[in-house]
Amino acid sequence: MEIKKIKETCLYVTDLEASKAFYNGKLGFAVIGEVKDRHVFFRAGASVLLCFISEAAKKSTTLPPHFGSGHLHVAFEVAKDQYERWKQQVKEAGIAEEQEFDWGGGYLSFYFRDPDQHLLEIVMEGMWERG
Protein backbone atom coordinates (compact mmCIF):
# COMPACT_ATOMS: atom_id res chain seq x y z
CA MET A 1 0.00 0.00 0.00
CA GLU A 2 1.16 3.53 -0.75
CA ILE A 3 -0.15 7.06 -0.27
CA LYS A 4 -0.17 8.85 -3.63
CA LYS A 5 -0.07 12.44 -2.36
CA ILE A 6 -1.48 14.90 0.12
CA LYS A 7 -4.75 15.97 -1.53
CA GLU A 8 -5.66 18.83 0.80
CA THR A 9 -3.79 21.11 3.14
CA CYS A 10 -5.61 23.27 5.65
CA LEU A 11 -4.67 26.65 7.06
CA TYR A 12 -6.68 28.40 9.76
CA VAL A 13 -7.13 32.08 8.97
CA THR A 14 -8.74 35.11 10.56
CA ASP A 15 -10.17 36.90 7.51
CA LEU A 16 -11.55 35.01 4.51
CA GLU A 17 -11.66 38.08 2.28
CA ALA A 18 -7.99 38.84 3.01
CA SER A 19 -7.13 35.20 2.28
CA LYS A 20 -9.09 35.31 -0.97
CA ALA A 21 -7.44 38.58 -2.01
CA PHE A 22 -4.03 37.01 -1.31
CA TYR A 23 -4.33 33.46 -2.68
CA ASN A 24 -6.67 34.25 -5.57
CA GLY A 25 -5.90 37.90 -6.25
CA LYS A 26 -2.12 37.88 -5.78
CA LEU A 27 -1.09 34.26 -6.37
CA GLY A 28 -3.80 33.37 -8.91
CA PHE A 29 -5.19 30.26 -7.17
CA ALA A 30 -8.73 29.53 -8.42
CA VAL A 31 -11.50 29.64 -5.81
CA ILE A 32 -13.28 26.27 -5.91
CA GLY A 33 -15.52 26.54 -2.83
CA GLU A 34 -16.65 29.13 -0.36
CA VAL A 35 -19.02 29.42 2.59
CA LYS A 36 -19.37 32.89 4.09
CA ASP A 37 -17.80 33.23 7.54
CA ARG A 38 -16.57 29.60 7.44
CA HIS A 39 -14.12 28.76 4.63
CA VAL A 40 -12.68 29.38 1.19
CA PHE A 41 -11.04 26.61 -0.85
CA PHE A 42 -8.46 27.10 -3.60
CA ARG A 43 -7.05 24.94 -6.39
CA ALA A 44 -3.27 24.69 -6.03
CA GLY A 45 -2.13 22.60 -8.98
CA ALA A 46 -3.39 19.06 -8.39
CA SER A 47 -3.98 19.83 -4.70
CA VAL A 48 -6.48 21.86 -2.72
CA LEU A 49 -5.67 24.57 -0.17
CA LEU A 50 -8.40 24.86 2.47
CA CYS A 51 -8.63 28.09 4.47
CA PHE A 52 -10.98 27.86 7.44
CA ILE A 53 -12.01 30.23 10.16
CA SER A 54 -10.91 28.09 13.11
CA GLU A 55 -13.89 28.77 15.38
CA ALA A 56 -16.37 27.99 12.59
CA ALA A 57 -14.68 24.67 11.70
CA LYS A 58 -14.49 23.82 15.41
CA LYS A 59 -18.31 23.95 15.62
CA SER A 60 -18.88 21.63 12.64
CA THR A 61 -21.66 19.06 13.02
CA THR A 62 -21.68 17.55 9.52
CA LEU A 63 -17.96 16.68 9.45
CA PRO A 64 -15.59 16.06 12.34
CA PRO A 65 -14.80 19.39 14.03
CA HIS A 66 -11.24 20.64 13.61
CA PHE A 67 -9.34 23.79 14.45
CA GLY A 68 -5.91 25.14 15.05
CA SER A 69 -3.79 28.21 15.58
CA GLY A 70 -0.26 29.38 15.06
CA HIS A 71 1.89 30.04 12.04
CA LEU A 72 2.04 27.01 9.74
CA HIS A 73 4.18 26.17 6.70
CA VAL A 74 3.14 25.09 3.19
CA ALA A 75 5.44 24.62 0.18
CA PHE A 76 4.15 24.92 -3.39
CA GLU A 77 6.12 23.10 -6.10
CA VAL A 78 6.69 24.78 -9.46
CA ALA A 79 8.53 23.74 -12.61
CA LYS A 80 12.18 24.81 -12.54
CA ASP A 81 11.68 26.98 -15.62
CA GLN A 82 8.82 28.84 -13.88
CA TYR A 83 10.63 29.48 -10.59
CA GLU A 84 11.95 32.96 -11.52
CA ARG A 85 8.53 33.93 -12.92
CA TRP A 86 6.96 33.00 -9.56
CA LYS A 87 9.56 35.10 -7.72
CA GLN A 88 8.69 38.01 -9.99
CA GLN A 89 4.92 37.52 -9.54
CA VAL A 90 5.26 37.50 -5.76
CA LYS A 91 7.44 40.62 -5.85
CA GLU A 92 5.08 42.44 -8.25
CA ALA A 93 2.14 41.56 -5.97
CA GLY A 94 3.87 43.51 -3.20
CA ILE A 95 4.65 40.43 -1.13
CA ALA A 96 7.98 40.57 0.67
CA GLU A 97 10.36 37.68 0.06
CA GLU A 98 11.64 36.54 3.44
CA GLN A 99 14.51 34.32 2.29
CA GLU A 100 15.79 32.30 -0.64
CA PHE A 101 17.60 29.04 0.06
CA ASP A 102 19.91 26.93 -2.11
CA TRP A 103 19.19 23.26 -1.34
CA GLY A 104 22.08 22.04 -3.51
CA GLY A 105 21.85 20.00 -6.67
CA GLY A 106 20.42 22.95 -8.56
CA TYR A 107 17.32 23.34 -6.36
CA LEU A 108 16.20 26.67 -4.94
CA SER A 109 13.23 27.79 -2.92
CA PHE A 110 12.02 31.09 -1.49
CA TYR A 111 9.84 31.96 1.48
CA PHE A 112 7.17 34.59 2.09
CA ARG A 113 4.13 35.06 4.35
CA ASP A 114 0.38 35.25 3.87
CA PRO A 115 -1.90 37.75 5.70
CA ASP A 116 -2.05 35.41 8.75
CA GLN A 117 1.75 35.07 8.81
CA HIS A 118 1.74 31.44 7.64
CA LEU A 119 5.13 30.71 6.09
CA LEU A 120 4.76 29.87 2.40
CA GLU A 121 7.46 28.49 0.13
CA ILE A 122 7.86 28.16 -3.61
CA VAL A 123 10.16 25.23 -4.35
CA MET A 124 11.56 23.92 -7.63
CA GLU A 125 10.11 20.68 -8.95
CA GLY A 126 12.23 17.63 -8.21
CA MET A 127 13.02 18.33 -4.55
CA TRP A 128 12.47 15.33 -2.30
CA GLU A 129 12.07 12.95 -5.27
CA ARG A 130 12.68 9.31 -4.54
CA GLY A 131 16.25 8.25 -5.03
3-state secondary structure 16-42: HHHHHHHHHHHCCCEEEEEECCCEEEE
Q: What is the pLDDT of residues 88-126, one digit of tens each?
A: 999 999 999 999 999 999 999 999 999 999 999 999 999
Q: What's the CA gap between 80 and 1, in Å, rounded?
A: 30
Same domain for 8 and 49?
yes
**Reported pTM:** 0.93
* Residue 64 domain boundaries: 1-69
Same domain for 47 and 101?
no
* Mean pLDDT calculated for residue range 71-77: 96
Q: What's the CA gap between 83 and 41, in Å, rounded?
A: 24
Q: What is the pLDDT of residues 45-56, one digit of tens each?
A: 999 999 999 999
Which CATH number fits the domain that encloses residue 122? 3.10.180.10
Domain boundary among 38, 69, 100: 69
Q: What's the CA gap between 57 and 53, in Å, rounded?
A: 6
Residue 60 corresponds to which amino acid? S
Residue 9 corresponds to which amino acid? T
Q: What is the pLDDT of residues 3-39, one digit of tens each?
A: 888 899 999 999 999 999 999 999 999 999 999 999 9
**Could you give the 3-state DSSP secondary structure of residue 3?**
coil
> Are 25 and 90 a contacting pair, CB within 8 Å?
no
Is 60 exceeded by the pLDDT of residue 130? no
